[in-house]
Structure 1
Amino acid sequence: MQNIETVMVVVVVLIAAKALIIYAIMRIIGSPQRVAVMAGIGLAQIGEFSFVLAKSGQGAGLLPENDYQTFLAASIISMIATPFLIALAPRIGYGIQSLFSRGADIADQSVSEDIHLTSSGGLERHVVIVGYGLNGRNLSRVLRSVGVPYTVLDINAETVRLAKEKGEKINFGDAARREVLLHAAVDKAWVLVLALSDPEAGRRTVALARSLNKDLHIVVRTRYTAEITELLKIGANEVIPEEFETSIEIFSRVLHRFGMPRSTIEDQIGRIRRQGYEMLRSPSIPQVEMGNLNEALHKAVTQTVLLTDRSPVTGKDLGEIDLRGKTGATVLAVIRNGETKVSPGAGYRLCDGDTLLLSGSVEKIERALLMICPGSEIEGFNA
């Protein structure tokens, strides 16, 4: 291409101009400097719709053929460069933030004036929650209900504003900055909980928090098990990957469906957690670890079931329903109003609200459940 220099100049100018415009918009709406830089770089490429506009402009005689070809080439190059720009965006964002950092810039001055910092003075032996998404909201609600002191940090100005209106102990700020963590008294805190979707921000926050408080217990929620080792290495005490918890829930439900005793399922969960998730990372799990499923299925298990007024056995005597004769399962006990009747006789009448403790093989329990609660899915086999 003869005009490659011109094309590259156009690429640089277009990317820089668009990045600056997006950066300015993000700052105006209250985003921190780092986030604004990342958004500007990540969205700086020329979009596909620009091709349509350029083609229309060419057809209308507003854009000469040579200029159209230059614009087309520049657009394609900007799209090719986008993945690399996105990968570099976090580092560039942190670099620019550090370059223009001010000690007083705890909460970005671009935030609307109605978002005020809540003083963390006096806070100690508390919990610092970074991120006010679903995990952060649930944790803050629980801590508030049990009386554990805490403070929350989030970089979404609107989220902070709405939470403050509801009386939440939350501040606007980037936890990857020293000033913000010190304002949250992380040096006096007992626990730091990170629930961020930005891996780079999470790593920086963990390292910074550890440098400020050697005794701090740091719990990190991450997306992938591949991030566990690095987070632990830089200072996290516990790392909980989303895909790990999802996998546990999946295999728990599968084993439950096969009628595995609850104690067996809990044992497998405990083994995986104790081994630092290595079982889930490896391509296969040793057969001895999972045990013999067929053998377990034929062993006696127990199951509790709550009777409702819709159950066909409610209001009938045990002898009348003949549960053991029809299904093979045995009623070991009946719990009613907090009192337990062990080995109830044939004349014992079942009532709405009773909890039956059944015993038998998985097949027998399944038949009993279908008889007691037809059409309903009963949760949880218990050892």
Structure 2
Amino acid sequence: MSTLRTVKTFIHQRLAVAVDEIFGLLETTISNYEEELDRQRRLLEDDRYATCCEIFINHDIKKITFQNGLPSSVEDMIKVFKQALSITTDTGLQYKDANFDDFFTLTSTSDLKDKDTLKVVHKPHKSEVNFLPPHPAGETDSSLESLRLEQVAVSRTKDNTHTINDMMSGTYSCRRREVVGQSMQVAELKERWPALFDPVQINDEFRRCNTVPLESTFISQLDRYTPKLLELFNSKRGAVGQRMKIVLVELIKDPDVVKKRDMTLRCLIEYMGESVQELISDYSRTPEDKVHEDLKAQSMRIYICQQPVAVGIIIDGTPVLTGLDNVPRACCLLLGLTCSLNLDYPPKLAETFKVFQRQRLQLKPTSKYISLKNKLLSRAEQGHSSHQTRGLRRVSGFCGVLSV
């Protein structure tokens, strides 16, 4: 009888333990379910305010999600985009209207809905008087498209410079609408407008847009201010000064004028706190086709091959110019292409490009630009007293080292 009681007591004890374990597991399961429900509820609350937008910028497509809803104004939205996308130039926004299947200027964020498509558009610089001109009198989209197709055919022939120039001038308004208003890849633009990637037409297109000659101004201003810049670079101390001195040693070996321009531009990039390697890639004994393959992932790059010598420009991984004479000319033509193709300056080279264009663009000076200008003014003041006033005027008129 005592054995039966013992078994019964043991079973009751085990059942009690099992019940406690079951209720413990049940409580844990219920608690986990409640936490998951709370999490899902919070996500639903967040989704109620979150807005996702597709962004076209230059030739890329990005996605941005506003977790707390859209900014209250277009200006605030532009600030968010400029920070998130590393945009360095003045921009505006356009949105795609589903009813018209076209882009319109965004004037209020209340016009936007979740998953809408936006386009970042560059505002014209003050000197770009022909940034987006109307079609010539009597011309239509259709007639200019016919002229574009004819221009593509003519570009394949020889001795066509005069004819191509007339056609490019006639189709300028059509081309600017494509470059500014559409998000085409550089490779596609090169296919549609092959002449636009010729040095002669880069110069002409720059003049059409800005009424300023490109190469002659760039090179003359570079030569004019090189002596003062070299003095400034030689006086630089610290790590940057050491890097510039290594570059300037090349001038002792080869004082050629083209070499001097090359070294001055490289030192200028370093002086502005940026990296030469972000703009110029040097190769030795590497075939040019291998260089093109190596730079496919680069958005903007000048390359120079040694033995044999070859200089060219890569944009969006596409070789857009080859067979150039030297790096200074490549820098100049790249500056022209940023205008012709309406491209942003590379974020890691923004200060350098702004210095290149300072006077022409009449933009608000950056702190680095002001520092450089003050240093040049200081050196001008150290000149002969009889020429002091004249020297100050010349350096003040520089307004950016390379006043293109």
TM (norm. structure 1) is 0.25
TM (norm. structure 2) is 0.24
